[in-house]
A and B are shown apart, each in its own frame.
Chain A
Amino acid sequence: MTKVTYVENDGTRRDIDVQDGENLMDGALDNLVPGIDGDCGGVCACATCHVHVDSEWLDKLPPMDATEDAMLELTDDRNESSRLCCQIKASPELDGIVVHTPAGQH
């Protein structure tokens, strides 16, 4: 299990144990974390699972591929900490990761 802290737009923090190997979008949806839609089901086709990752964790993530990079252009407030959380899999190296969910997806 990987502890993931989802911080909502209003500041609410939730610590959720996500099964290793599962992605952080499913972790959010399974636990009813608001702000994540995941319309395409996690195949990097819709960009509705946008999160901002706390800076100290950014370097520990696998690099984004061209599809994720392109799809992020559809999001409203992309910055250097933006990722699509369907592309982030829970793993021991990410135990404790903090991600911020937006008020809503585009």
Chain B
Amino acid sequence: MTETVVIVGGGQAGAQVAVSLRQGGFDGRIVLLGDEPVLPYQRPPLSKTYLAGELARERLFVKPAAFYEKVNIEHQLGEAVCAINASEQVVCLDSGQTLHYDHLVLATGGRVRPLPCSGADHPQVNYLRTLADVEAMQDKFTEGTRLVVIGGGYIGLETAAVAVKHGLKVTLLVARPTPLGRVTSPEVGKFFEAVHREAGVTLRCDTEVVAIEDDGGDGQVAAVVTSCGYRVLADLVVVGIGLLPNVELAQSAGIACDDGITVDEYGRTNIDNIYAAGDCANHPNPIYQRRLRLESVQNAVDQGKTVAATICGKDKPYAQVPWFWSDQYDLKLQTAGINAGYDQTVIRGDVDSRSFAVFYLREGRLLAVDAINRPAEFVVARNIIGKNIVVSAERLQDESIPAKALADVPVNSGSTEDTTKDDAHNQERVA
């Protein structure tokens, strides 16, 4: 009998599951359900080239419409799934329609974390997560518009960079001591702070927003009130303060969740024939030996592939080095790995040259790199982390060694201590 895979979520992960199922030889029915009224699209350009007006709308889509038809992937868009009945293997849609599944994939992604202060529902307050969000604000991206960006993460910084290039008057409010505080180091955060100031952004760190007021009484201008007592007027406010994983559908069906939907290395939840992938999924990462929930294209794509392989009976455990990128001005930041828990940073290159890499180590082992206009360091770090190679801090720093040779450490060249550690670590990973 023909099997049916139902995929809940029409983002990058959902699309990847569908594509990889067909590539993997699955010949049953595939139904992709999405609550946004458009085919799966790529989110990264939303705060970069698409916001800047440099990318045509049709270029956002993961696959052209003809692709879904050609490989027979059904899609139902613009409608949310309201319930899962796991014992009956049925999902219910808002319209009242029900769909039977043999395999159910939750690729429900996340939603923006709402601004938790009074006045956050002011008409000029926008978020940046969906195509509709961007299209609602794009006509205000014109010279002279007063923009307040709340949030110093990737979204906030990229939005500020595009805006200042378009002649907007940009104020960027960052809650932490430096931008990118959640994901990078003070060194890299301070660098980006300086870059944005130099470009003309008014940037305030250690600044919380305590209220949004209406200035003028007609909803046209928002006044953003900060913890330091500033009152900044804005024709447009963009909020980028993080993502909340969409887990409620899973939770109400009895699926285990803890900072995302809990999956194993094959993308399986605790309920048979139900899987999760992408921003909503929390997976055991063999490289970092702990659970991670990642919000990235890499994770959406690779977990989508993992889940599709599991459904096809070709189990392929997820064991990827996480990677991320951000484009701001003339800078390409490429991050490989997760730096949490680092005890040492090594800077390779000169920060002032706007081309350098910061390596993060713990007990002498590379955890992550932030490479700014240093693609070779990014690439080699992915190798070093993925293959668990021990490279000393001195070597990482030594620019007389070409970046791509950094991982070429002769087997017997390390100290005895390093070799011992390496063996121990490998054994730990095998165990």
A residues with a Cβ closer than 8 A to B are 26, 29-30, 32, 37, 39-43, 45-46, 66-67, 69-71, 73-74
Q: Is B256 positioned at the interface, with any CB of A under 8 Å from its CB?
A: no
Interface-facing stretch out of B116-124, B168-176, B208-216, B371-379: B371-379
Q: Are B376 and A70 in contact (CB under 8 A)?
A: yes
Q: Is B67 positioned at the interface, with any CB of A under 8 Å from its CB?
A: yes
Number of interface residues, chain B, beta carbon within 8 A: 27
Q: Are B375 and A66 in contact (CB under 8 A)?
A: yes
B residues with a Cβ closer than 8 A to A are 42, 44-45, 48-49, 59-60, 63-64, 66-67, 70, 297-298, 301, 325, 327, 332, 334, 375-376, 378-380, 382, 403-404
Q: Kindly list chain A residues whose C-beta atoms are within 8 Å of the C-beta of B48.
A: 43
What 4 pairs across the A-B complex have the smallest Cβ distances?
A: A70-B375, A70-B376, A67-B375, A45-B325
CA distance A67 to B334 in the complex (A): 11
Q: In the complex, how many angstroms separate the beta carbon of B424 from the nearest chain A beta carbon?
A: 29
Q: Are A29 and B404 in contact (CB under 8 A)?
A: no
Given contacts A30-B64, A70-B404, A73-B376, contact A43 B382 (CB under 8 A): no
- A contact face: mostly helix, strand, loop, or mixed: loop
Which of A41, A42, A70 has a CB less than 8 Å from the CB of B379?
A70
Q: Are B404 and A40 in contact (CB under 8 A)?
A: no
5 chain-A/chain-B pairs, Cβ below 8 angstroms: A40-B297, A41-B44, A41-B60, A43-B44, A73-B380
Given contacts A39-B298, A40-B297, A41-B45, contact A70 B66 (CB under 8 A): no
Q: In the complex, how many angstroms separate the beta carbon of B378 from the nearest chain A beta carbon?
A: 7
Which of B66, B325, B376 has a CB less than 8 Å from the CB of A40?
B325
Q: Are B325 and A71 in contact (CB under 8 A)?
A: no
CA distance A37 to B404 in the complex (A): 24
Which of B70, B301, B332 has a CB less than 8 Å from the CB of A67?
B332
Q: Kindly list chain A residues whose C-beta atoms are within 8 Å of the C-beta of B334.
A: 45
Q: In the complex, how many angstroms separate the beta carbon of B355 from the nearest chain A beta carbon?
A: 9
Considering the complex, give the chain A residue whose CB is closest to the CB of B300: A39
Which of A41, A46, A69, A70 has a CB less than 8 Å from the CB of B59?
A41
Q: In the complex, how many angstroms separate the beta carbon of B221 from the nearest chain A beta carbon?
A: 35
Q: Kindly list chain B residues whose C-beta atoms are within 8 Å of the C-beta of A37.
A: 301
Q: Are A29 and B63 in contact (CB under 8 A)?
A: yes
Q: Kindly list chain B residues whose C-beta atoms are within 8 Å of the C-beta of A41.
A: 42, 44-45, 59-60
Which of B49, B70, B379 has a CB less than 8 Å from the CB of A71?
B379
Q: In the complex, how many angstroms separate the beta carbon of A82 from the nearest chain B beta carbon?
A: 14
Q: Kindly list chain A residues whose C-beta atoms are within 8 Å of the C-beta of B378.
A: 70
Q: Are B375 and A71 in contact (CB under 8 A)?
A: yes
Q: Are A73 and B379 in contact (CB under 8 A)?
A: yes
Q: Kindly list chain A residues whose C-beta atoms are within 8 Å of the C-beta of B63.
A: 29
